[in-house]
Chain A
Amino acid sequence: MTARRIGVAAAAAGALLPLVLLAVFSFSRNWYWPHLLPGEWSSRAWQYLTSPASDIAPAIVTSLWIALVVTVVSLAVALPAARVLAWHQFPGKRAFFFLLMLPVLAPPLASTMGVHGLFLRFGLTETVPGVMLVHLIPAVPYTILMLTGSFTRFDPDWEAQARTLGAGTLAVWRYVTLPAIAPGLALAAVFAFLISWSQYLFTVLIGGGQVITLPLILVSFQRGSDEAITAALALVFLAPTVLAFALTAKYMRRHA
């Protein structure tokens, strides 16, 4: 009982404290040592973000569009791979899996410059599809990892049984496979979305300043050291993912 209470308290503090702090920072002015509350309150940051000069709205639309496509494509690419990796034994499987994971193991600087060179040669830079493609590099390994976990807990015989009972491919998928892997699928989708949504370095290089996403604006203001606007932008940045977490949360429920 107490363990659960501590767990809930920790999770609530971990989730809510940063959000509350960011909200306070975004409205604060003249907040100096040793005061526990801001000296003044101001809506300057939010006024700027809601003005057209901030270019936030188009950046949100671009970011969302890219992240949604990346999520769908990542799942489409990762699902078949995860099934095979989870159910079939073949020589060199572990090494192959390890290779698939390398993009998330190697530090970003090692691959980004080279990847940019590659994209330039194929004329993929400065376009939205190019940015989507490059976001797949970090997104797909995570998705495969999450989904492989789901499939290992799922017995392939269940699908076979359903099929002998006369279920079509679609019905097997809808009533047998999908419910069994739903928690992992939901988590994988959220991660793919989140990875794309928060990419900075790849977007800067491949987008070449023509594809402007929210992290680009956030980092600009962080470097420009405008604390209130950075905090407000961070909240805007968090909104869709927090929403996505809440929406997918119900799929995480136990399917016993």
Chain B
Amino acid sequence: MLMLAPASLVLMGLFAGGVALAVLQSTGFFAPASEHSFTLRHYTAMLMNREFQLSLILTIAVAAVSTILSAVAGVALALSLRSLAGRWPLVNALVQVPIAIPHLVMAVLLINVLSQSGLVARLGYAAGVVALPNEFPVLVNDPYAIGVITAYVLKETPFIAAVALAMLARTGDEYESLAATLGASPWQRLRHVTFPLLAPAVVSSSMIVFAFIFGAFEVPFLLGRPYPSMLGVVAQRRFTSIDLAERPDAIAVSVLMSLITAVLAWAYLKLMRNQIGERPTLF
């Protein structure tokens, strides 16, 4: 148990203390706005707020779609590269490069590539398909959040692939070879041997991806629409409002976001645990 102490100290001490202060500031103890008594009105006000409700739906949808696409693409990428990654380690590095690109930079790049006067539209112009920018389909700041989802899929697929590749590198392919000698078809091997091997890593990394997207600000701010916007943008906008009285609202939004992510993540892990069964998992 002593082995857990340092980690607990770092995370519980620093992080939990910070969250406790945030909870205080959002429940009527935000001194700069002259609040000195307990109240839940910031929470009720936000929960009743139409913008908050719309943003919540949008946020869950964008985070879920991006996570699913990234997980599927990430696993596919890892599986297609696994044999190569063993022999040629630089493949791993190649996969990991996009992880290092800051989300902010990825968003700026995507605007320059996907917008109506971006590089893809210009290729269309060169090919004679598009004559004017507004003839090119709307792919950023669009109603379906295509731009936001694209940015996240490009950033998170490599993350999930890297984790899966590390998992595959550890286990090698003995199990699959064994299954093959026992007469399993390629699909049976994938379904009953490889996927279960990968599942714990993919489940926990996709949970992190979901939570990250759920709380993010930069990408939806630059690639999304002003309304409705994702919750991170809503919180940030209220937080930087010139009216100090809106700050407790902003903190309430982010505390609510933490709660919602925690509940969703917990439910997801529970569901996955039932799916995979009681294997030696880390969650």
Contact = CB atoms under 8 A, between A and B. Distances in A.
Physical contact A–B (CB less than 8 Å): yes
Interface of A: 3-4, 6-8, 10-12, 14-16, 18-19, 21-22, 25, 33-36, 76-78, 80-81, 83-86, 90, 94, 96-118, 133-134, 136-137, 140-142, 144-146, 148-150, 152-153, 180, 183-184, 187, 190, 194, 198, 215, 218-219, 222, 227, 230, 234, 237-238, 241-242, 245-246, 248-250, 252-256
A159 to B, nearest CB: 14
B54 interface: no
B82 to A, nearest CB: 9
Nearest to A233: B105
A84 B262 contact: no
Contact of A106 (B101, B200, B261, B282): B261
Nearest to B103: A198
A80 B207 CA distance: 23
Tell me whether chain A's interface is mostly helix, strand or loop, or mixed: helix
Contacts of A140: 7, 10-11
Interface string B163-207: 101110111101000000000000000000000000011001101
A183 B166 contact: yes
B100 A115 contact: no
Contacts of B3: 80-81, 83-84
6 contacts: A81-B7, A106-B262, A145-B204, A183-B166, A237-B105, A254-B169
Given A77-B7, A107-B254, A149 B91 contact: no
A96 B8 CA distance: 9
Given A36-B119, A190-B96, A249-B92, 9 more contacts: A10-B77, A14-B98, A81-B8, A115-B15, A137-B14, A148-B282, A187-B162, A245-B97, A250-B89
Contacts of B95: 11, 14-15
A78 B211 CA distance: 21
Contacts of B102: 198, 215, 218, 234, 237
Given A106-B257, A250-B89, A153 B100 contact: no
Contacts of A84: 1, 3-4
Interface stretch (B16-24, B38-46, B64-72, B139-147): B16-24
B89 A252 contact: yes
A28 B267 CA distance: 49
A100 B100 contact: no
A63 to B, nearest CB: 13
Nearest to A87: B280
A81 B12 CA distance: 14
B20 to A, nearest CB: 7
B282 A105 contact: no
B283 interface: yes
A102 B4 contact: no
B17 to A, nearest CB: 5
A149 B200 contact: yes
A35 B12 contact: no
A136 B11 CA distance: 8
Given A18-B101, A94-B283, A114-B18, A105 B265 contact: yes
B91 A15 contact: no
A219 B10 CA distance: 28
Given A77-B10, A81-B7, A234-B105, A11 B94 contact: yes
Contacts of A103: 11, 15
Contacts of A80: 3-4, 6-7
A223 B163 CA distance: 33
Nearest to A247: B93
Nearest to B21: A114
Contact of B122 (A36, A102, A219): A36
B18 A118 contact: yes
